Amino acid sequence: MEASTRTQADGGSPPERLAEKASEIKREYAHGEDKPMGSHLTLVVVYNALMAGFLAWRARSGSGFPPKVGAGDVLLAGVATHKISRVLAKDRVTAPLRAPFTEFEEEGGPGEVEENPRQVGGMRQAIGELLVCPFCLAQWVATAALAGFAVVPRATRFICSIFAAVTISDFLQIVYKGSEEKLL
């Protein structure tokens, strides 16, 4: 009884004080908005756990890692990451994958839509925030691409080449459309 009285008198148990400090930080950070900070933290933990698991698996497998990642592979992965991230975050045809987590706002660029995360709080909102942000998705996509280069480099180069070619095509489509409009 005496220990519990002492804990209550000094502001609660350590987990309670930690939870209160986390709530205070969230309130100060969010300026009154409902931000799913705990869910964001969960996504960060999931990403890092997957990365740590992959690194540990590769180290234990004896396969190790490539001695280096060449500049060509980094460039290919970068262009493919750009396109894959935009396809996941913005493409009209991938909207059904995002729909449980996002809401349609308006048409976007060519073949794209603008969406907002559903403001429902928790993990659903946090995933929505990730899915509408190609910049945010790029970290996940680039990690998958470089992991692919370590495990199945030929298949990864093939897949990345598809998305790199589509990226080049996208830019050419925009240039072509722009030149058409100037000629008319």
> Following DSSP, what letter does each residue of 76-134 receive, concatenated?
HHHHHHHHHHHHHHHBGGGHHHHTTTEEEEEE-STTBEEEEE----HHHHHHHHHHT-H
DSSP state of 11: T
From residue 3, give the alpha-carbon distance in Å to each of 12, 79, 84, 101, 115. 11, 60, 56, 46, 52
Residue 29's pLDDT is 74
Collapsed DSSP state (helix, strand, coil) of residue 69: coil
Work out the average pLDDT over 145-161.
Answer: 96
Residue-level pLDDT at 9: 55
The amino acid at 20: E
- Statement: the pTM of the whole predicted model exceeds 0.85: no
Whether 113 contacts 99, CB under 8 Å:
no
Q: How confident is the model at residue 1 (pLDDT cuts 50, 70, 90)?
A: very low
**Percent of the chain predicted with pLDDT > 70:** 92
Provide the pLDDT confidence category of residue 54 given band limits of 50, 70 and 90. very high
pLDDT band at 20 (very low <50, low <70, confident <90, very high): confident
- pLDDT confidence of residue 137: 97
Report the half-sphere exposure of 83 (CA within 13 A, side-chain side): 19
pLDDT digits (tens, 9 = 90+) for 57-90: 999 999 888 889 999 999 999 999 999 999 999 9
91 pLDDT higher than 50:
yes
Specify whether the CB–CB gap between 43 and 126 falls below 8 A.
yes
Half-sphere exposure of 124 (CA within 13 A, CB side): 9
Q: Distances in Å between the alpha carbon of 151 and those of 18, 72, 87, 155?
A: 41, 17, 24, 9
CA–CA gap between residue 97 and residue 68 (Å, rounded): 35
Query: pLDDT band at residue 10, thresholds of 50, 70 and 90?
Result: low
101-132 tens-digit pLDDT: 999 999 988 889 999 999 998 999 999 999 99
Averaged pLDDT, 27-52: 87
